[in-house]
A = this chain, B = another copy of it.
Amino acid sequence: MLKHVKSKMAVKSSCLCCECSEFFSAMADKTRQEIIMIFVHQKEFCVSDIASRFTLSRPTISHHLNLMKRSKILSSRKEGKEIFYSVNKSYIKELLTSVANDIDCCC
């Protein structure tokens, strides 16, 4: 009985119900995916460096960066006038693993 309740709670508090929704929304956009891929060869980028790699406007890139920061995909660090963004690799991997485990619980 208690075990059943416990497993129901586990489902309810599982990743597929809460913050992974925001994460998947953030990851669904191709521009944002391309932004992430920029970090393959360099750890940090300031906003204008990222914007210069796209045809999109700087405010648009800024919007995407802030959205990804809010959903914990990116972090930022201020250094003088510039703001450097980087990828939160461990957070992303943990979330993906968590979802994979949830899926594993399906019949």
Contact = CB atoms under 8 A, between A and B. Distances in A.
Interface in A70-107: 86-87, 89, 92-93, 96-97, 99-100, 102-107
A103 B107 contact: no
How many copies of this chain?
2
Nearest to A22: B28
- Which range holds the interface residue count of chain A? 35 or more
Contacts of A86: 107
Interface of A: 11, 14, 16-17, 20-21, 24-25, 27-30, 33-34, 36-37, 39-43, 86-87, 89, 92-93, 96-97, 99-100, 102-107
Q: Chain A at the B interface: mostly helix, strand, loop or mixed?
A: helix
Among A11, A34, A92, A103, the most chain B Cβ lie within 10 Å of the Cβ of A103
